[in-house]
Each structure stands twice: as C-alpha cells, then as structure tokens.
C-alpha cells in the first residue's frame, strides 16, 4: 500500500478541517467547539469516543490484536491577534492558532479516518488522544489521571509538532532529551523604606533585588554543569514609589529551564538560598515561591528508531533530520514518563513561498503540503508498530 497516495486522498478534507479549526481558536480548557468537531468526526467514523479532562476527547479504534498505540494532538490556541491576510484567518479577536495545534488536530483526525478504513487489517488497537491546554496549565496530566492510557492499556505513544524551521517534506527527530523542564519562580524582596536623603534609616529592597539578579547568574556560570543546558531568566522586576523614596518591597518573577531532571530540585533550592541569604546580608528578607512546570521530555530510542525507519522510505533519508534539543517545554513529556514513545517535528516551512515565521508569531502559518506528510508518517508508524513482534 502506498501510504502517501492514501494520504493524498483525504488531504483536501483534512486541510478544510484545519482551516475550520483555525478560524475559531479556543484557549486552554475552553476548546468546546473544537472538541465538538473532533467528537462528531470520530463518531461518524465508527470509532469508540468519549470526553475526558473537561474539554479533551479520546477515540479508540479496535483492531485484531492486543497491542495498543496512541497518538496525541493538542487543540488549544494562544491569546494573540492574528495578522495573516488569508480567508481562513481567526474570527475570534485576540485569539490565534499561532502554534499549529489546529494542524496537529486536523492531522490526527485524518489519521483516524485512514486507519478506520483499514480497521479489519489492524493487528492491534489505536487510541487518538485530543488534548486540551498544552499552552497553559497542561492537559496531559489530567488526561492521564482520568485514565486515558488505560482500557485498553497503551503500550506506546507518538506525537508531532509543526516546525517552520524545517522545510515541508522534512521531519525532525531527537534521541533522548528533546525539551527542557520548566520551573516558574516568584520572589518578593522585603526591606524598609525611608526618605531618599536618609538611606541609613532604610533597608533598600531595590539594592537587594539588584544583588540577587547579579548573584543568580552564578548558578548557570559556576554551579551548573556546563555540558548540560540551563537557562535562568528574571523576566520582571517591579518596585518603588517615587524617585526620592527608598523602596521597601520589590517583586520579581523568572523562569528556570534545564535538561537534567534529576538536578531540578537542587537548582531551585540553590536559587532560593541565594535569594534568602543575599537579602539577609543586607538586612532584608524574601518570600520565594516555586511553581513547578513540565518535566523534561525524553524520547525513547526504540520508538524514535521506529519513526526514523518508517520515514526513510516515505521521505528519503536526507529529509529525516536529527535536530538538537530545545529549551522549550512540552507536556507530552508526561505521556513519555508512563509509556515508551517519541515526539517528532513536522517541517511546515517554505522559504520560496515566504512561509518562515516562527511559532507564537502573529503571522505564523504553514505550507499545507505538510499535512499529507504528517498523515503518512503517523499512519505508517502505527502500522509498522502493530505489525512488529516487539
């Protein structure tokens, strides 16, 4: 069977689905219309379907075998005003599918249709996981907690993300650590205010904050392994009342991204200790709060090999590219903590057509030729996995 030709048969329908979803973007856990489209489409294919994790949807296609592979797509949009001049531009002010989740959703729906058409030949089951809220608090964990990987038990999982830095016709794979972990930090520096002409009567919260920012740079340069990436950013500083008043309070917020999951708690504790001790030396104090974000996304070798071996004959070896890890985050990581799997990148850029804007840009778009590539890789990987003896 020529999977690319099969993908081309549904390509137009899937592009129309993508455009429909693109026109009505919804934020995390607000994907009611999108999930209705997904639910109805799967039901019409004769796939067992249910709602999960508020606005999530899962479909189960049962074949002839005990193995089960899952495919995940995220559905949520971003709070961005779209600036693309296309007929299918966002109809919701201040909302846009600027990260390609409309594409992910449409490709998975098309994959479901292609696999449903060959259900009698499937040597196992396929779960189609449509996840809410990847961009915000994360929908993967609630779906897992509500049993999305059970009944039937999922043995392997794959997913994709569009990437405009890769050209249409290419995919990107990464072995092992592919996305960073994320921890958000909020710091309140407390001092004592006074008149600006009488600094000796104060504990200057701005001076404390400035010292904290400077000393925190040593976490990356002197405390972390230079061979393991880490990013520590203080992104906001707010404090002070007037030019002649020494501030008694400064609020700061930042983020820590790193690739060593096992060192994550240690680094955060080090950051808190620096903040606390720096404030004490100058006579102040701090309140420190950590909000734990997504863990590192770690691809499993066997499933990454499977995608690579599947894509070679479809796209040509030169179009299956090993890409470097990114310090971005992705809550597909939670699925990979539970079952073997791999998350690959789907090239959607086309420099000749001027399609080169990055994700999260208000002019982000894709070359829709990438849709049939995603369909073909998804379907072929599922078939290869279910037909394997592993």
pLDDT, tens only, 166-224: 999 999 999 999 999 999 999 999 999 999 999 999 999 999 999 999 999 999 999 88
294 given a catalytic annotation: yes
Please tell me the pTM assigned to this model. Answer: 0.95
Average pLDDT of span 30-52: 99
150 given a catalytic annotation: no
| pLDDT band, residue 390 (cuts 50/70/90) | low
Average pLDDT of span 123-137: 97
pLDDT at 389: 73
pLDDT at 133: 98
CB-based burial, 217-244: b 16+ in 10 Å, e otherwise: eebbeebbeeeebbebebeebebeeeee
Q: Which of 294, 334, 344, 385 is catalytic?
A: 294
Q: Which CATH architecture has domain 181-292?
A: 2-Layer Sandwich (3.30)
Answer yes or no: is 300 a known binding residue.
Answer: no
Q: Is the pLDDT of residue 79 over 90?
A: yes
The CATH code of domain 3-178+296-387 reads 3.40.630.10
Answer yes or no: is 104 a known binding residue.
Answer: no
Cβ–Cβ < 8 Å for 112, 69 = no
Q: How many C-beta neighbours within 10 Å does residue 327 have?
A: 14
Burial class (CB in 10 A: 0-12, 13-18, 19+), 51: middle
Average pLDDT of span 32-54: 99
pLDDT at 1: 80
Tokens matching residue 311: 């894509």
Q: What angle do CA 320, 311, 143 make, to 5 degrees?
A: 100
Average pLDDT of span 106-132: 98
Answer yes or no: is 135 a known binding residue.
Answer: yes
Answer yes or no: is 82 a known binding residue.
Answer: no
What mean pLDDT value characterizes the chain? Answer: 98
pLDDT at 46: 98
| pLDDT band, residue 97 (cuts 50/70/90) | very high
Q: Is the pLDDT of residue 320 over 70?
A: yes
Q: Which of 30, 134, 260, 368 is catalytic?
A: 368
pLDDT at 253: 99
Domain ranges of the chain: 3-178+296-387, 181-292
Q: Is the pLDDT of residue 91 over 70?
A: yes
Answer yes or no: is 275 a known binding residue.
Answer: no
Average pLDDT of span 264-271: 97
Average pLDDT of span 276-299: 98
């Amino acid at each position: 069977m020529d999977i690319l030709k099969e993908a081309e048969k549904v390509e137009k329908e899937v592009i129309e689905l993508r455009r429909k979803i693109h026109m009505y973007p919804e934020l995390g856990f607000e994907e009611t219309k999108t999930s209705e489209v997904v639910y109805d489409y799967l039901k019409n294919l004769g796939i067992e379907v249910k709602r999960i994790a508020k606005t999530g949807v899962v479909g189960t296609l049962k074949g002839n075998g005990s193995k089960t592979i899952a495919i995940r797509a995220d559905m949520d949009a971003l709070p961005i005003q779209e600036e693309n001049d296309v007929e299918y531009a966002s109809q919701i002010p201040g909302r846009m599918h600027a990260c390609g989740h409309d594409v992910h959703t449409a490709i998975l729906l098309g994959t479901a249709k292609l696999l449903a058409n060959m259900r009698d030949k499937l040597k196992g089951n396929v779960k189609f996981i449509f996840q809410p809220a990847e961009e915000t608090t994360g929908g993967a964990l609630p779906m897992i907690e509500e049993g999305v990987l059970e009944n039937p038990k999922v043995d392997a999982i794959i997913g994709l993300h569009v990437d405009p830095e890769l050209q249409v016709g290419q995919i990107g794979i990464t072995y092992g650590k592919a996305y960073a972990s994320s921890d958000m930090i909020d710091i309140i520096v407390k001092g004592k205010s006074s008149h600006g002409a009488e600094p000796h009567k104060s504990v200057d919260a701005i001076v404390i904050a400035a010292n904290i920012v400077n000393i925190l740079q040593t976490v990356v340069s002197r405390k972390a392994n230079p061979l393991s990436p880490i990013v520590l950013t203080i992104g906001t500083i707010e404090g002070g009342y007037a030019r002649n008043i020494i501030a008694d309070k400064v609020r700061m917020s930042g983020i820590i991204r790193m690739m060593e999951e096992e060192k994550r708690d240690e680094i955060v504790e080090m950051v808190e200790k620096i903040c606390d001790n720096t404030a004490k030396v100058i006579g102040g104090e701090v309140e420190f709060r950590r909000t734990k974000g997504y863990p590192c996304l770690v691809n499993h070798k066997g499933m990454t090999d499977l995608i690579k071996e599947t894509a070679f004959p479809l796209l040509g070896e030169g179009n299956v590219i090993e890409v470097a890890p990114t310090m971005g985050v992705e809550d597909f990581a939670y699925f990979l903590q539970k079952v073997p799997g791999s998350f690959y990148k789907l090239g959607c850029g086309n420099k000749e057509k001027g399609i080169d804007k990055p994700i999260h840009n208000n002019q982000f778009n894709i070359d829709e030729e990438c849709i049939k590539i995603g369909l073909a890789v998804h379907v072929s990987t599922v078939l290869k996995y279910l037909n394997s003896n592993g």
